[in-house]
Amino acid sequence: MKHITITDIAKKLGISASTVSRALSDHPDIKEETKKKVQQLADEFYYKPNSIAQSLKNNRTTIIGVIVPEIKHDFFSSAISGIEEVAYHAGYTIIVCQSNENFEREVVNTNSLIHQRVAGIVASISQNTINGDHFKSVVARGIPLVFFDRACSDVAVSKVIIDDAKSAFDAVSHLITKGYKRIAHFTGPKELDICKLRLKGYSKALSEFNLPVIESLICYGGLHEADGYNSMEELIKNNNLPDAIFAVNDPVAIGAFQRIKEAGLRIPEDIGIVGFSNNKITALVDPPLTTVNQPSFEMGKKSAELLIEMIESEKQSFKPTTITLNTVLIIRSST
Amino acid sequence: MKHITITDIAKKLGISASTVSRALSDHPDIKEETKKKVQQLADEFYYKPNSIAQSLKNNRTTIIGVIVPEIKHDFFSSAISGIEEVAYHAGYTIIVCQSNENFEREVVNTNSLIHQRVAGIVASISQNTINGDHFKSVVARGIPLVFFDRACSDVAVSKVIIDDAKSAFDAVSHLITKGYKRIAHFTGPKELDICKLRLKGYSKALSEFNLPVIESLICYGGLHEADGYNSMEELIKNNNLPDAIFAVNDPVAIGAFQRIKEAGLRIPEDIGIVGFSNNKITALVDPPLTTVNQPSFEMGKKSAELLIEMIESEKQSFKPTTITLNTVLIIRSST
DNA sequence: ATCGTTATCGCAAACGTTTGCGGAAAATTT
DNA sequence: AAATTTTCCGCAAACGTTTGCGATAACGAT
């Protein structure tokens, strides 16, 4: 079965392709009668304009590119869901790429999306992204770009984020008011803004409550479960036990959680623990984890809305806006 | 910044676009010297062929369409990860659509992908898909199609699945040998093959071990957590308690799990429970759930490999093949 | 000197759509 | 009846690429 074209319709009616094109777009130059005949035939044969041809004319597709570190991570898959949801209703489709936390692959993905003439890009950078040149070339080509959650600090574009410092501050404050005093922080790569900010919030809370910032209780690692597990292991091995942990995200918290349980320590009595993101899993472990609810789905939706607005505004340059979504500390039994 | 075209290069060198095109594709008609000059300029300006124009010529893109019920579900996001992984290395990108378990939206998505001239489609159908006409029209247009996990029974195409009946049989057999006798089954929509087959495996195991199949212990519901919760609620309300539950999937198992805990019943002493899929969460709840490991990532990879093979084989018709991946029962403390 | 070969390249069409421009016919005004 | 306007539509170019075919020149062979 072949796709029917505007030319096919034109031939059937003995008119020109341009007339058909105009008839379908309700151009005032075309007689009502002709419009009707064209429309009827188009309906009958389920005519849909060839979007590739349209893209070639416009030098732009109706595809939104999405770049995330890893699709299968709760936070990102949920954000992608949100992006798809908004895109779908606005008539766009989404191409999803994952960098696998790899800088080079992120660059390749970005260039591939540019080259595929996507209408815009929504991205969350990898933890190893050392510069934003690839994103700068996106901007240079006039392609709308929005970061969500993990933004690239040397590229001035719109972003949808949360107040990481404040969220961390609140989380750690909560621990302190619960009576915890030796609070460790399992953080991620120093390069990532979100890590820097959460660390900042952590320090600020300690200072505010006149607690010392103990360097040996700040554990640098990755963002995965294994990293949390390893950091905990390290603390245990060094006999440097904290009485509470604020983890940079939920997977890290879960990793620590497992190691703590293996060590036979009780949560929250021996060690309190706070995660970050409100992954589904945190509500189901025993005891359920206190965590910061990060509205992943909404972040995806907002990012897409912002991006589509940029795409359809026809303006070449936009002043970057930053949307900060609210987080809520969800207090459960782990603290 | 504008994209450089083949014509731009041609003009710079004072030759024709066709020569440039042939030079870049190493056509034997072109002098080595010319090839070198062209290649040099192409490198210098980072020339990449406009893929939209290429698509228009070929009437086909290098995009693989992916349709899943819900992106954010563990199983699917993991499968998508696998698809992306394979696609990436083969030079394809993926467009991801979600049906939200809605039949009409699945149809819209499918038509949208056809209309966007994707090179092929990987799909897992919604639980409300009542017929496969939309997929038939994919086949009719010669677009390669592969189902994974949830296949459409009235469309004869390749699929990547697991042996649902056998996996269910093994899971229930395990429960029986553990001494459980009143084993309930929380199943999903009757229309879904995977549900039918898992139910079949459940019944077969009971029969094989001379246990009665008790209709009131077969609970029909959806595939989400809430459904498992509700089914369990129902059993409790009717004072119709089983001593074990085989759930159609992990979310349903988790839902039941929560209701069981709320009821103050002990797992596995009072009620044993087996899930299906090996979602990450099952390993982290307390007690961890016995479940059937369903290789989601591999299913995604295999599907993509199969699809790409079809795409690149240039043949118009393929005899549908079915790849059945192995499952393993992961025995944990919930049984 | 004529012919056939080979090497090298350009022309033009095609993919399907959109759109500026111009043109013929019809309707209206003078 | 002539002039003007309006209505309606087609031509052709353009987006960037690929490719069949033909063209030209250089070359060696007869």
Mean pLDDT of B3-21: 94
In percent, how much of chain B has pLDDT > 90? 95
Give the total residue count for chain B.
Answer: 335
Average pLDDT, chain A: 95
Q: Which bases of strand D have any atom within 7 Å of the beta carbon of a protein residue?
A: 7-22
> Do B248 and B223 touch, CB atoms closer than 8 A?
yes
Mean pLDDT of A41-45: 95
The answer to whether A1 contacts B93, with C-beta atoms less than 8 Å apart, is no
| Residues paired with A285 in a beta bridge | B285
How many angstroms separate the CA of B312 from the C1' of C13?
A: 27
Mean pLDDT of A157-183: 97
A186-206: burial string, b at 16+ Cβ within 10 Å, e else: bbbbeebbbbbbbbebbbbbb
Query: Which two tokens mark A255?
Result: 């990793």
Q: Is B81 on the interface with A (CB under 8 A)?
A: yes
Place of tokens 């290069």: B9
Closest CA to B80 of B280, B251, B296, B326: B296
The reported pLDDT for the residue numbered B314 is 65
The reported pLDDT for the residue numbered A314 is 65
Q: Is A313 on the interface with B (CB under 8 A)?
A: no
> Do A276 and A247 touch, CB atoms closer than 8 A?
yes
The confidence band for B316, taking pLDDT boundaries of 50, 70 and 90, is: low
CB hemisphere CA count around A90 (13 angstroms):
23
Kindly identify which residue of chain A lies nearest to residue B99, measuring between CA atoms.
A85
The Cα–Cα gap between A40 and B250 comes to 50
Query: Which two tokens mark A111?
Result: 């260039």
> Do B249 and B277 touch, CB atoms closer than 8 A?
yes
The confidence band for B313, taking pLDDT boundaries of 50, 70 and 90, is: confident
The reported pLDDT for the residue numbered B223 is 95
The Cα–Cα gap between A110 and A114 comes to 6
Size of interface A-B (CB pairs under 8 A): 116
The reported pLDDT for the residue numbered B315 is 65
The reported pLDDT for the residue numbered B219 is 97
In percent, how much of chain B has pLDDT > 70? 99
The confidence band for A318, taking pLDDT boundaries of 50, 70 and 90, is: confident
H-helix or E-strand containing B149?
none
The reported pLDDT for the residue numbered A44 is 95
Mean pLDDT of A216-245: 96
Mean pLDDT of B15-39: 94
SS3 content of chain B, % helix, strand, coil (to 5): 45, 15, 35
CB hemisphere CA count around A234 (13 angstroms):
16
Residue B57: how many other CB atoms lie within 10 Å: 9
Which tens digits make up the pLDDT trace of B157-178?
A: 999 999 999 999 999 999 999 9
Question: Counting runs of H as helices and runs of E as strands, what totals does chain B give?
Answer: 12, 12
The reported pLDDT for the residue numbered B85 is 97
Q: Is A110 exposed, middle or buried (0-12, 13-18, 19+ CB in 10 A)?
A: buried
Kindly identify which residue of chain A lies nearest to residue B59, measuring between CA atoms.
A52
> Do B108 and B99 touch, CB atoms closer than 8 A?
no
Mean pLDDT of A154-158: 95
Could you give phi then psi for residue B239, rounded to 5 degrees? Answer: 55, 45
Mean pLDDT of A130-142: 94
Check whether A316 has a pLDDT greater than 80. no
Which tens digits make up the pLDDT trace of B235-287?
A: 999 999 999 999 999 999 999 999 999 999 999 999 999 999 999 889 988 89
